Amino acid sequence: MEYRINNTLIRYEATGEKRRGDDSVLLKKAQDLTTGTTWQKTGFSIEKLFDDENTYQLFQNKTSELIRSCWRKSGLAVHADFPLDQYHTLAKTIETHLAAVEYTKLLSVDDFPLGVSRLEERISTICEAPLIAHNPFDNQTIFHFRVIRPNTIDNNPLHRDVWLEDYDNCINLYIPIAGSDERSSLIIIPESHQWPESRVERTVAGAVINNVRFNVPAVTAIDGAYSIVRPDPKPNEVLVFSPYLIHGGAVNFNPDKTRISIEIRLWKKY
């Protein structure tokens, strides 16, 4: 698979069995939480996170404290004022990084900074539907920190979340925390949530790229013309997007900043 972003050609070769789906559009069989929004066609939007800057600053402070505590649990020597975007100066090897990742994923929403209910209420307003951070498939109530060091293969390949069976019918959130900008933020293919599966070739199982195994299957080819964008949510903004969109592949081109974001999903509340 190859694509161009930030005027740079990206290539990856995913090993393992590959396939194309049929002409069905997965979104048509799902609960589309973008329905009725102004961004239903593209599948994503950048929205304000909190109403006032003081609340956002408190959120940022609590978030920074939380991720530093996670890193300490992994054995990293992180002082109270350690700049988050300099994580790569501590986790210099893939082994050290993967050990730290074990403490920054699958975090309980009970630990979400300022409480997850604020977030649920805000995104419910944006999507015009009552939403909750509870996965009805596996009953998980979790969020993750995504930590992408500069010029590494820390990022997932291009994929749809719904190729994993437990991410149907939700909405995805990308909340920038540190080092997220036009050279490092998440990559999205607009309108791809409406593509038939036959347009995309992908690995059957989780991708293996450069001997690194990912949970998600990887896109290995796309038929026809398409565009890739890199939405750039600023502080106190959130990228809201459909899990049926093709996204990922977000290489961090910043030479000296680690990109950190919060990943969390919400489902309709009944």
Task: Say if residue 22's pLDDT is above 90.
Answer: yes
Task: Give the H/E segment covering residue 44.
Answer: strand 44-48
The CA-based diameter of the chain, rounded to the nearest angstrom, is 53
Angstrom distance (rounded) from CA 173 to CA 261: 10
At residue 250, the pLDDT reads: 86
pLDDT tens-digit readout, 148-197: 999 888 888 999 999 998 899 999 999 999 999 999 999 999 999 999 99
Task: Say if residue 16's pLDDT is above 90.
Answer: no
Tell which wins on pLDDT, 214 or 65. Answer: 65
All domains of the chain in start order, with CATH:
13-268 (2.60.120.620)
Q: How many CB atoms lie within 10 A of CB 128?
A: 11
Residue 110, exposed/middle/buried by CB under 10 A (0-12, 13-18, 19+)? exposed
Looking at the chain, the whole-number percentage of residues with pLDDT higher than 90 is 92
pLDDT tens-digit readout, 23-74: 999 999 999 999 999 999 999 999 999 999 999 999 999 999 999 999 999 9
At residue 213, the pLDDT reads: 87
At residue 167, the pLDDT reads: 92
SS3 184: coil
CB-side exposure of 224: number of CA atoms within 13 Å?
Answer: 8
How far is residue 263 CA from its own chain's centroid? 5
Contact 93, 99 (CB under 8 A): no
CB-side exposure of 194: number of CA atoms within 13 Å?
Answer: 11
Tokens encoding 171: 């909405």
Contact 159, 228 (CB under 8 A): no
pTM of the shown model: 0.96
| Stretch 221-234: mean pLDDT | 96
